[in-house]
């Protein structure tokens, strides 16, 4: 069976379509990555860091059956068709041969047993002191109605509002140092499938500036939306805008055919505010990510 599998390596940003094809075909609630994770991570970071990326894709005939992505020289993300679990070992071998970093690391969801088994048999072990992320789930039945204070407006963005959309992202994500996301990065996000402006919601102030935002990516095949990312400008926080813009995007997701949504905030106590926001509107925790280190 393994003999018919062909591997292709990509340098730089190429390979996204193959990665998305596999994520979509094999997605289940046990998967670490949703179609939107791959779309967001590859598009928002492409111009800045794709020169360092290495991606390998394994294909059996027409089907993509496994991929590995070194999004940093020593860190692996991967997706392997659970029906072809033996390929997880092949991906880990490729990682060890291609990686270049002081200490090799990989991230999986605790439910991805086939990935975990391949990593553990190659000598990787859990690092329980590292930050981790917890999937949170919400059903789209019975969502609360979004409410914003007088003078502020909730709406979805238009495709040509790249600069304003980039500005609200940077405002929300500059607490720990200036966000590196440029308008060009945001243009890349907004032109990456399956981005849809009707699922990208904002709160607009009286001056026409965006002050909060929530983007949802819809996997139509599984009717599941991924919320990634959400933000509110520091001057407007704790006024219910993060909750409202999230709820508005979730209503739009339901109208677009979604039945449930997932979001993946930090699960450890090092950054509890995002988890608190999602739980305040009804998301409930599920599986967590694991960080594995070699040696």
Comparing CB distances to ligand COA, the nearer of 197 and 229 is 229
Comparing CB distances to ligand COA, the nearer of 7 and 277 is 277
Q: Tell which positions 115-174 bind ligand COA, by CB under 6 A.
A: 172-173
Task: Convert residues 247-266 into a mask of x (bound to ligand COA by CB under 6 A) and - (unbound).
Answer: ------------------x-
Buried/exposed code over 187-198 (b: 16+ C-beta within 10 A; e: otherwise):
bbbbebeebbee
Least distance to ligand COA, CB of residue 269, Å: 11
Comparing CB distances to ligand COA, the nearer of 96 and 237 is 237
- Single out the residue of 30, 3, 17 nearest to residue 286, CA to CA: 30
In this chain, which of 237, 254, 260, 288 binds ligand COA, going by CB under 6 A?
A: 237
Task: Convert residues 204-233 into a mask of x (bound to ligand COA by CB under 6 A) and - (unbound).
Answer: --------x----------------xxxx-
Q: Does 239 bind ligand COA (CB under 6 A)?
A: yes
What's the CA angle centered on 263, arms 261 and 268, to 5 degrees?
Answer: 145
Q: Does 274 bind ligand COA (CB under 6 A)?
A: yes
Least distance to ligand COA, CB of residue 158, Å: 22
Task: Please check whether residue 112 is in contact with residue 120, taking contact to mean a CB–CB distance below 8 angstroms.
Answer: no
**Alpha carbons 282 and 223: distance in angstroms, whole number:** 18
Comparing CB distances to ligand COA, the nearer of 1 and 235 is 235
Q: Does 27 bind ligand COA (CB under 6 A)?
A: no
Task: Please check whether residue 68 is in contact with residue 95, taking contact to mean a CB–CB distance below 8 angstroms.
Answer: yes
Least distance to ligand COA, CB of residue 129, Å: 22
Kindly indicate which of the ranges 42-50, 53-61, 129-137, 241-249 contains the residues binding ligand COA, using the contact rule CB under 6 A. Answer: 241-249
Least distance to ligand COA, CB of residue 236, Å: 7
In this chain, which of 33, 154, 218, 241 binds ligand COA, going by CB under 6 A?
A: 241
List CB contacts of 273: < 8 A, sequence separation 6 or more. none
Q: Does 282 bind ligand COA (CB under 6 A)?
A: no
What's the CA angle centered on 133, arms 80 and 119, to 5 degrees?
Answer: 35
| Longest CA span, the chain | 64
3-state helix/strand/coil string of 118-161: HHHHCCEEECCCCCCEEEEEEECCCCCCCCCCCCCEEEECCCCC
Task: Please check whether residue 19 is in contact with residue 55, taking contact to mean a CB–CB distance below 8 angstroms.
Answer: yes
Least distance to ligand COA, CB of residue 71, Å: 18
Comparing CB distances to ligand COA, the nearer of 99 and 212 is 212
Least distance to ligand COA, CB of residue 279, Å: 7
| Footprint on this chain of ligand COA (rule: CB under 6 A) | 172-173, 175, 212, 229-232, 237-243, 265, 273-274, 276-277, 280
């Amino acid at each position: 069976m393994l003999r018919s599998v062909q591997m292709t390596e990509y340098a730089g940003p190429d390979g996204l379509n193959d990665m998305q094809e596999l994520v979509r075909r094999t997605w289940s609630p046990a998967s670490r990555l949703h179609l939107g994770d791959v779309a967001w991570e590859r598009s928002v970071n492409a111009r800045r860091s794709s020169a360092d990326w290495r991606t390998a894709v394994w294909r059996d005939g027409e089907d993509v059956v496994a991929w590995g992505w070194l999004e940093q020289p020593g860190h692996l993300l991967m997706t392997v068709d659970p029906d072809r679990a033996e390929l997880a070992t092949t991906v880990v071998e490729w990682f060890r041969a291609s990686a270049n970093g002081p200490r090799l690391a990989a991230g999986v969801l605790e439910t991805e047993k086939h990935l975990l088994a391949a990593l553990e048999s190659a000598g990787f072990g859990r690092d329980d002191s590292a930050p981790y992320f917890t999937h949170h789930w919400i059903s789209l039945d019975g969502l609360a109605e979004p409410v914003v204070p007088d003078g502020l407006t909730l709406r979805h963005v238009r495709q040509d509002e790249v600069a304003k959309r980039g500005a609200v992202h940077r405002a929300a994500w500059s607490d720990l140092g200036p966000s590196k996301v440029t308008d060009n990065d945001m243009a890349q996000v907004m032109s990456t499938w399956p981005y849809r402006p009707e699922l990208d919601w904002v709160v607009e102030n009286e001056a026409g500036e965006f002050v909060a935002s929530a983007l949802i990516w819809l996997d139509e095949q599984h009717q599941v939306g991924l919320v990634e990312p959400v933000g509110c400008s520091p001057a407007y926080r704790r006024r219910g805008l993060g909750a409202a813009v999230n709820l508005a995007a979730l209503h739009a997701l339901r109208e677009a055919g979604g039945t449930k949504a997932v979001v993946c905030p930090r699960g450890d106590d090092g950054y509890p505010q995002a988890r608190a926001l999602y739980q305040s509107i009804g998301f409930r925790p599920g599986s967590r990510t694991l960080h594995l280190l070699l040696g």
